[in-house]
DNA sequence: GAGCACTGC
C-alpha cells in the first residue's frame, strides 16, 4: 500500500488523510541522449509508428482537412469527454480576478502543419490525462494559478513523484499573463521601441537528459508534436548541441547553462512570461546565478520588459524554503527602500506579507511583491531504514555481506542498488560478489551484477535498464550517478555506504581536490528513496544512526566548492559591476571572489576599473572556461592553422578523458602499442591534437578506429561536437574564414600552439628542480606529473598543465613541455 | 602509477 499522501498548501487548511491513488511511476529520465542528428532522424522516423502501434485502428492521417480547422496554437483545448470540469481549460476564461481581455485582441501567430497526425496525438494526450489527474499536485492547479495571478514569485516544495516538473508549466500556459504582450521600452538613445514581451514559459533543469525527456513527456500530455518536428509544436527544449523548438513553442525546457547563455543576449528574458526553476535543491553553480539574476529582474523596475511582470516559480524537492523566501524578500525590501529614498520616505504600508513563511496573498498591499509558498507531498512507498549497529571500516566488505543477506532472506522480485564512491570500489565489489555467487546454493535465484558509473561505455550502462532474466536478482553497483541522474526501475533494496567523492576547489592553492567524504542527510534520504519508487522497500545504511544524525543537512552548494572565474565573468558580462552586492543565494568567501577577479584580470577579461573588457565579453559568450577561451583568442593571433589546431586540443580538454582506462596489464600493453603512433613527445596537448586529426581523418569506421586505439568513441563524439561548435563560432566572429576549408592540414607548429596555451595558463606551470621533482612557478608547490600523461616519468625543463588536482597527492594533468623563457614572457606580459 | 557527478548561443 502506498503511504498516505499528505498535502498542505501554504497556511491553508491541512488536507491530509486522503488516500493516495495507485502510484504511477514517473517516466524514467535514464534514456540515452545519443547524438543530436541521430536522434532527430530517429524521432522523425519513429513517431508515427509509435502512434500507430498505440492506436492500431487509427490510420495515420495524411489529410489536411483535419489540420486546417485546428485552432491556433494558443488556448487550444483538449477535449476530455469523461470529465465534467477541467480546471486548466477554464483558466483563460475565468475572469473573476483577471483583467478583462478581448479574446482575440492579439491573436497569437498560428502555424500550420500538414504532416503531423494531430488526431492520434490528442488521443494519446486524452489517455494520459487520466494519469495526470492522479498526480498529487493535480488538485492544486486552481490554487497555484490563483496565487500566481496575484503574485510574481512562488516557491514550491514538491517531493519526488508529486508531478511538479510536468504539470506546473501546463497549469500556467493558458493564463492571461502568459500571453505575448505589446510593450514599449526605452532604448539607449532615449527613443522608444515597441516590442512583444512574454508568451513562453521556461523550465530549467540541471541535466540535459531531464530537459529532453520532460519536454517529450509534456508534449505528449498536451497532445502536441515535440519541438522542431512541427511548426505548430507548443513544447520544445534547448540543451547544448541540441535545440528543438518551433515558432509556436510556449513551453520550453532548458538547462540552467542554456538559460544563462540566453540571458547574455536577452538580459530581460523578453521571450518569457514565466521562468520555472526546477531542482533548486541540487544547488549547482548555475542555479545560484540564475536565482540571483531572477531576483534582480523581479524586484527591479522591469524597464527592459516595458513593465511587463515576469513570474518566477522556484521548485525544490527539499523543504529548505526559508532561505529562498528570505532571499527573494530581501530583494523586494531593498527595492522598497530605494523607492522610499526617492519619494522622500512618505510611502505607507511597507510591511511584507510573507513574514511567517507563507502568504495568504490577497491581504498584501504589495500585491505582486509578496512571495507565496506551497508544499506538495510526493508519492513514495515506505522505505524501512536499517542502520549498521557498529561503525563500518571497510564498506566494500560490509556491502558484500548485506547483499547476500538480502539475497538469502528477502523474496523476489526486488533488485538491489548499492551506492559506492567510485569506479575502483565498484569494480572491487563486482569481483567479490561474482566470486561469492559461484558457491551459492543452486536452488537460490541467480545474481546478476551490473556496474554503473559515468565512465562506463554507453552500451554497458544500458544493461542496467534491461529487466532481470527469470529467477535472477539484479545487483547494481553504482556511483552517485544513480542518486539523481539515472533512475533504475525494479529496485527495492538500497545499500548506502554513506560516502561520495566530492570535488573541492582550494582557492589558496588553485587546486582541485577530489576526496571521499560523508554525504549529507538530504543525499542519504535521496539514496534511500530509490528503494521506494515502485513498492515498499528497505534501505541498509552502512553507518550508525548516530553517524547519520551527525551528517550535514544538505550538500555544500557548488558555488562554495568551485573556481568562480567563470561565474564572475558571466556576472560582469551581464553588467553586474559590484560583485560584492550581487544577490548570492550563498555568498562565497571574499578570498574566493578576489582570486577569481584576479584571474580575470590576468587573462585581460577585465579593464583596470574592474569593468568587463572586449576580450571578456567575447570570452563570456564562448562555451569554454575563461582560461580556455583566452587560449583560443591568443591562438587566433597566430594564424588560422594554429587556431584550428588549438580548437582541436581545447575540444579534448573540455570533455571527459578521451583515452580509455586500461585495467589489466595485458590491455595496457596493447594500448601502448595501439596508441604509439598518436603519442607526441611534446606532451598531452599535441597528443590530443594528433588523436583528433587521426579520428577526424578516419573515413571508414571511426568507431572501429577508436576501439583499436583504445580511445573512447563516446568522448570523441563529444569532442567533434565541441569542435564543430567552436569552429562555427570562430567563423561567425571572423576569427576563421567563412568557408570551411576541407583540405590538407599542414604540420602543426608545437611552439606556437603551446605559447597560445600560456596566454591562459601562465600560472599553471612548474619547473624541474635539482631533486628531480617539479615545483609550481607561482607558489612553489610540489607537483607530480599524472600517470595518465604521456610525459609521466619524463624530465623536462618546465611543464604547462591543464589541471592541478589532489587525490592521493598533487598531480598535474594534461601536461606539455615548455621552455622557461616562454613562461617568463607570458608572466611578464601581465 | 590513476579516473565522483553534472553543464555551455
pLDDT digits 0-9 by tens, A546-595: 999 999 988 889 999 999 999 999 999 988 888 988 999 999 999 899 99
CA distance A352 to A577: 29
Answer yes or no: is A520 CB < 7 A from strand B. no
- Chain A 126-155, CB < 7 Å to strand B: none
CA distance A445 to A431: 19
Residue A289, pLDDT above cutoff 90: yes
Query: What Å value separates CA A375 and C1' B3?
Result: 41
Residue A70, pLDDT above cutoff 80: no
- Chain A 499-518, CB < 7 Å to strand B: 500-503, 514
The alpha helices in A141-284, defined as continuous H runs, are 141-150, 164-172, 208-222, 256-265
Lowest mean pLDDT among A217-231, A523-537, A665-679, A804-818: A665-679
pLDDT band at A362 (very low <50, low <70, confident <90, very high): very low
Query: What Å value separates CA A428 and C1' B3?
Result: 15
Query: What Å value separates CA A749 and C1' B6?
Result: 35
Please tell me which residue, A735 or A45, carries the higher pLDDT value.
A735
**Residue A52 has what pLDDT?**
34
Residue A466, pLDDT above cutoff 70: yes
Query: What Å value separates CA A2 and C1' B2?
Result: 46
Q: Are A178 and A201 in contact (CB under 8 A)?
A: yes
Answer yes or no: is A243 CB < 7 A from strand B. yes
Query: What Å value separates CA A201 and C1' B9?
Result: 19
**Residue A33 has what pLDDT?**
32
Answer yes or no: is A624 CB < 7 A from strand B. yes
Query: What Å value separates CA A431 and C1' B1?
Result: 22
**Residue A441 has what pLDDT?**
87
Please tell me which residue, A384 or A336, carries the higher pLDDT value.
A384
Phi, psi (rounded to 5 degrees) for A28: -70, 145
The string of pLDDT tens digits covering residues A606-632 is 999 999 999 999 999 999 999 999 999
Eight-class DSSP state of A531: T
CA distance A830 to A820: 16
Query: What Å value separates CA A241 and C1' B9?
Result: 10
C-alpha grid cell for residue A608? 583596470
Q: Are A246 and A228 in contact (CB under 8 A)?
A: yes
Question: Which range, A179-183, A550-554, A668-672, is most confident?
Answer: A179-183
Residue A113: which region, alpha, beta or left (left: phi > 0; alpha: psi -120 to 50)? beta
Answer yes or no: is A616 CB < 7 A from strand B. no
**Residue A107 has what pLDDT?**
45
The string of pLDDT tens digits covering residues A50-66 is 333 333 333 333 333 33
**Residue A57 has what pLDDT?**
35
Lowest mean pLDDT among A140-144, A448-452, A495-499, A708-712: A708-712
User: What is the gyration radius of the CA atoms in chain A, in angstroms?
Assistant: 28
CA distance A564 to A594: 9
Lowest mean pLDDT among A53-67, A570-584, A680-694, A778-792: A53-67
C-alpha grid cell for residue A568? 564572475
Residue A74, pLDDT above cutoff 60: no
**Residue A439 has what pLDDT?**
87
Q: Average pLDDT, whole number, for chain A?
A: 81
The string of pLDDT tens digits covering residues A210-260 is 898 899 999 999 999 999 988 999 999 999 988 999 999 999 999 999 999
Query: What Å value separates CA A640 and C1' B8?
Result: 24
Residue A93, pLDDT above cutoff 60: no
**Residue A357 has what pLDDT?**
34
Answer yes or no: is A198 CB < 7 A from strand B. no
Query: What Å value separates CA A590 and C1' B2?
Result: 34
Residue A2, pLDDT above cutoff 70: no
pLDDT band at A34 (very low <50, low <70, confident <90, very high): very low
Answer yes or no: is A617 CB < 7 A from strand B. no
Residue A350, pLDDT above cutoff 80: no
Answer yes or no: is A38 CB < 7 A from strand B. no
Instruction: Determine the nucleotide nearest to A486 by Cα–C1' distance.
Output: B5
How far the first Cα of chain A sits from its last, in Å, is 67
Burial (Cβ within 10 Å: 0-12, 13-18, ≥19) of residue A357: middle
Residue A143, pLDDT above cutoff 90: yes
Closest CA to A294 of A307, A280, A275: A275
Q: What value does the mean pLDDT take over residues A342-361?
A: 42
Q: What value does the mean pLDDT take over residues A509-520?
A: 86
Instruction: Determine the nucleotide nearest to A809 by Cα–C1' distance.
Output: B2
**Residue A124 has what pLDDT?**
92
pLDDT band at A372 (very low <50, low <70, confident <90, very high): confident
C-alpha grid cell for residue A421? 564512491
CA distance A202 to A277: 8
Q: Which residue is nearest to nucleotide B1 (CA to C1')?
A: A787
Query: What Å value separates CA A658 and C1' B4?
Result: 18
**Residue A96 has what pLDDT?**
36
C-alpha grid cell for residue A132? 495526470
Contacts within 8 Å (CB) and 24+ apart, A239-244:
A239/A208, A239/A211, A239/A212, A240/A208, A240/A623, A240/A725, A241/A36, A241/A721, A241/A725, A242/A33, A242/A36, A242/A39, A242/A208, A242/A212, A244/A40, A244/A215
- Chain A 259-298, CB < 7 Å to strand B: 261-262, 264-265, 284
The string of pLDDT tens digits covering residues A304-348 is 999 999 999 999 887 677 888 889 998 888 887 877 777 654 444
Please tell me which residue, A654 or A101, carries the higher pLDDT value.
A654
Eight-class DSSP state of A280: G
Lowest mean pLDDT among A49-63, A218-232, A261-275, A799-813: A49-63
Q: Are A434 and A449 in contact (CB under 8 A)?
A: yes
**Residue A788 has what pLDDT?**
85
- Chain A 655-674, CB < 7 Å to strand B: 657, 661-663, 668
The string of pLDDT tens digits covering residues A436-462 is 999 888 899 999 999 998 878 777 888
pLDDT band at A816 (very low <50, low <70, confident <90, very high): very high
**Residue A668 has what pLDDT?**
67
Instruction: Determine the nucleotide nearest to A455 by Cα–C1' distance.
Output: B3
pLDDT band at A699 (very low <50, low <70, confident <90, very high): confident
Answer yes or no: is A787 CB < 7 A from strand B. yes
Q: Given the C-alpha cell 572501429, which residue does it identify? A: A704
Q: Which residue is nearest to nucleotide B3 (CA to C1')?
A: A661
**Residue A819 has what pLDDT?**
95
Residue A111, pLDDT above cutoff 70: no
Instruction: Determine the nucleotide nearest to A257 by Cα–C1' distance.
Output: B8
Q: Given the C-alpha cell 518569457, which residue does it identify? A: A272
CA distance A773 to A789: 16
Q: How far is CA A114 from the centre of its chain?
A: 35
Q: A713-734: buried (b, 16+ CB within 10 Å) or exposed (e) per residue?
A: bbbbbbbbbbbebbbebbeeee
Residue A89, pLDDT above cutoff 90: no
Question: Which range, A94-103, A210-219, A655-664, is most confident?
Answer: A210-219
Answer yes or no: is A729 CB < 7 A from strand B. yes
Give the count of beta carbons closer than 10 Å to the beta carbon of residue A61: 17
Eight-class DSSP state of A14: B
Give me the percent of chain A exceeding a pLDDT of 90: 50
Query: What Å value separates CA A238 and C1' B1?
Result: 42
Residue A538, pLDDT above cutoff 90: yes
Residue A636: which region, alpha, beta or left (left: phi > 0; alpha: psi -120 to 50)? alpha
**Residue A67 has what pLDDT?**
34
Angle between helices A626-636 and A565-573 (to 10 degrees): 70
Nucleotides in B strand less than 7 A from protein CB: 1-9
- 3-class secondary structure for A400-423? HHHHHHHHHHCCCCCEEEEECCCH
Instruction: Determine the nucleotide nearest to A663 by Cα–C1' distance.
Output: B2
Q: What value does the mean pLDDT take over residues A167-189?
A: 93
Residue A393, pLDDT above cutoff 50: yes
CA distance A813 to A789: 7
pLDDT band at A743 (very low <50, low <70, confident <90, very high): low
Q: What value does the mean pLDDT take over residues A14-30?
A: 36
Query: What Å value separates CA A623 and C1' B8?
Result: 5
**Residue A367 has what pLDDT?**
55
Q: How far apart, in Å, are the Cα atoms of A461 and each of A75, A541, A659, A775?
A: 41, 25, 18, 40
Residue A739, pLDDT above cutoff 50: yes
Closest CA to A172 of A289, A87, A266, A245: A87
Which domains does chain A possess?
60-100+109-376 (3.40.50.300), 383-556 (3.40.50.300), 622-746 (no CATH), 762-830 (no CATH)
- Chain A 203-242, CB < 7 Å to strand B: 206-209, 239-241
Q: Which residue is nearest to nucleotide B2 (CA to C1')?
A: A787
Amino acid at each position: 500500500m502506498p503511504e498516505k499522501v499528505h498535502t498542505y498548501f501554504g497556511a491553508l487548511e491541512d488536507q491530509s488523510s486522503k488516500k493516495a491513488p495507485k502510484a504511477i511511476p514517473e517516466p524514467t529520465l535514464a534514456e540515452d541522449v545519443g547524438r543530436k542528428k541521430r536522434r532527430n532522424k530517429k524521432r522523425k522516423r519513429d513517431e508515427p509508428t509509435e502512434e500507430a502501434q498505440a492506436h492500431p485502428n487509427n490510420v495515420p492521417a495524411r489529410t489536411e482537412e483535419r489540420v486546417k480547422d485546428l485552432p491556433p496554437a494558443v488556448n487550444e483545448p483538449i477535449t476530455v469527454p469523461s470529465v465534467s470540469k477541467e480546471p486548466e481549460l477554464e483558466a483563460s476564461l475565468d475572469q473573476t480576478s483577471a483583467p478583462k481581455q478581448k479574446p482575440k485582441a492579439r491573436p497569437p501567430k498560428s502555424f500550420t502543419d500538414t504532416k503531423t497526425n494531430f488526431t492520434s496525438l490528442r488521443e494519446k494526450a486524452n489517455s494520459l490525462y487520466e494519469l495526470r489527474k492522479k498526480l498529487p499536485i493535480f488538485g492544486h492547479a486552481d490554487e497555484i494559478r490563483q496565487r500566481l495571478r496575484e503574485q510574481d514569485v512562488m516557491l514550491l516544495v514538491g517531493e519526488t513523484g508529486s508531478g511538479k516538473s510536468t504539470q506546473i508549466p501546463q497549469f500556467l500556459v493558458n493564463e492571461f499573463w502568459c500571453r505575448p504582450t505589446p510593450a514599449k521600452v526605452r532604448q539607449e538613445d532615449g527613443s522608444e521601441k515597441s516590442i512583444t514581451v512574454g508568451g513562453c514559459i521556461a523550465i530549467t533543469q540541471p541535466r540535459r537528459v531531464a530537459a529532453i525527456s520532460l519536454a517529450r513527456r509534456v508534449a505528449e500530455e498536451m497532445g502536441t508534436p515535440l519541438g522542431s518536428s512541427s511548426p505548430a509544436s507548443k513544447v520544445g527544449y534547448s540543451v547544448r548541441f541540441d535545440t528543438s523548438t518551433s515558432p509556436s513553442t510556449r513551453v520550453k525546457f532548458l538547462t540552467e547553462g542554456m538559460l544563462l547563455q540566453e540571458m547574455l543576449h536577452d538580459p530581460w528574458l523578453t521571450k518569457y512570461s514565466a521562468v520555472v526553476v526546477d531542482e533548486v535543491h541540487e544547488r549547482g553553480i548555475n542555479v545560484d546565478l540564475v536565482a540571483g539574476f531572477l531576483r534582480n529582474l523581479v524586484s527591479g523596475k522591469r524597464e527592459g520588459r516595458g513593465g511587463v511582470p515576469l513570474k518566477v516559480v522556484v521548485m525544490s524537492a527539499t523543504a529548505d524554503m526559508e532561505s529562498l523566501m528570505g532571499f527573494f524578500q530581501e530583494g523586494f525590501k531593498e527595492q522598497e527602500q530605494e523607492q522610499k529614498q526617492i519619494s522622500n520616505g512618505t510611502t505607507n504600508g511597507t510591511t511584507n506579507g510573507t513574514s511567517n513563511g507563507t502568504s495568504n496573498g490577497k491581504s498584501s498591499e504589495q500585491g505582486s511583491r509578496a512571495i507565496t509558498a506551497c508544499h506538495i507531498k510526493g508519492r513514495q512507498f515506505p522505505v524501512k531504514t536499517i542502520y549498521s549497529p557498529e561503525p563500518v571500516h571497510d564498506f566494500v566488505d560490509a556491502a558484500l555481506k548485506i547483499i547476500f543477506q538480502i539475497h538469502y532472506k528477502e523474496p523476489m522480485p526486488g533488485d538491489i542498488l548499492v551506492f559506492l564512491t567510485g569506479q575502483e570500489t565498484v569494480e572491487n565489489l563486482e569481483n567479490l560478489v561474482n566470486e561469492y555467487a559461484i558457491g551459492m546454493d543452486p536452488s537460490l535465484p541467480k545474481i546478476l551484477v551490473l556496474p554503473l558509473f559515468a565512465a562506463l561505455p554507453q552500451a554497458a550502462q544500458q544493461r542496467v535498464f534491461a529487466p532481470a532474466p527469470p529467477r535472477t536478482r539484479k545487483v547494481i553497483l553504482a556511483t552517485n550517478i544513480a542518486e539523481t541522474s539515472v533512475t533504475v526501475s525494479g529496485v527495492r533494496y538500497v545499500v548506502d555506504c554513506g560516502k561520495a567523492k566530492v570535488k573541492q576547489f582550494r582557492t589558496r592553492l588553485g587546486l582541485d581536490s577530489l576526496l571521499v567524504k560523508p554525504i549529507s542527510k538530504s543525499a542519504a534520504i535521496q539514496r534511500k528513496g530509490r528503494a521506494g519508487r515502485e513498492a515498499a522497500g528497505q534501505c541498509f545504511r552502512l553507518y550508525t544512526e548516530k553517524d547519520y544524525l551527525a551528517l550535514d543537512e544538505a550538500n555544500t552548494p557548488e558555488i562554495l566548492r568551485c573556481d568562480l572565474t567563470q561565474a564572475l565573468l558571466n556576472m560582469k558580462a551581464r553588467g553586474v559591476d559590484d560583485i560584492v552586492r550581487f544577490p548570492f543565494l550563498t555568498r562565497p568567501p571574499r578570498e574566493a571572489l578576489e582570486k577569481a577577479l584576479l584571474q580575470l584580470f590576468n587573462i585581460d577579461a577585465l579593464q583596470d576599473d574592474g569593468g568587463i573588457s572586449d576580450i571578456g565579453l567575447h570570452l563570456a559568450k564562448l562555451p569554454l572556461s575563461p582560461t580556455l577561451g583566452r587560449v583560443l583568442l591568443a591562438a587566433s593571433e597566430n594564424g588560422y592553422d594554429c587556431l584550428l589546431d588549438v580548437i582541436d586540443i581545447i575540444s579534448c580538454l573540455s570533455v571527459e578523458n578521451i583515452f580509455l582506462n586500461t585495467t589489466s596489464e595485458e590491455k595496457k600493453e596493447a594500448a601502448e602499442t595501439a596508441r604509439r603512433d598518436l603519442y607526441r613527445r611534446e606532451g598531452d596537448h599535441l597528443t590530443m591534437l594528433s588523436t583528433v586529426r587521426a579520428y577526424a581523418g578516419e573515413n571508414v569506421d571511426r568507431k572501429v578506429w577508436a576501439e583499436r586505439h583504445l580511445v573512447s568513441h563516446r568522448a570523441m563524439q563529444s569532442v567533434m561536437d565541441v569542435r564543430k561548435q567552436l569552429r562555427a563560432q570562430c567563423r561567425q566572429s571572423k576569427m576563421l574564414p567563412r568557408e570551411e576549408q576541407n583540405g590538407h592540414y599542414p604540420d602543426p607548429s608545437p611552439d606556437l600552439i603551446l605559447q597560445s596555451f600560456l596566454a591562459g595558463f601562465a600560472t599553471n606551470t612548474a619547473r624541474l628542480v635539482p631533486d628531480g621533482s617539479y615545483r609550481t612557478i607561482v607558489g612553489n608547490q610540489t607537483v607530480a606529473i599524472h600517470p595518465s600523461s604521456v610525459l609521466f616519468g619524463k624530465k623536462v625543463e618546465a611543464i604547462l598543465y591543464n589541471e592541478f588536482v589532489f587525490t592521493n597527492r598533487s598531480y598535474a594533468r594534461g601536461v606539455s613541455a615548455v621552455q622557461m623563457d616562454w613562461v617568463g614572457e607570458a608572466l611578464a606580459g601581465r
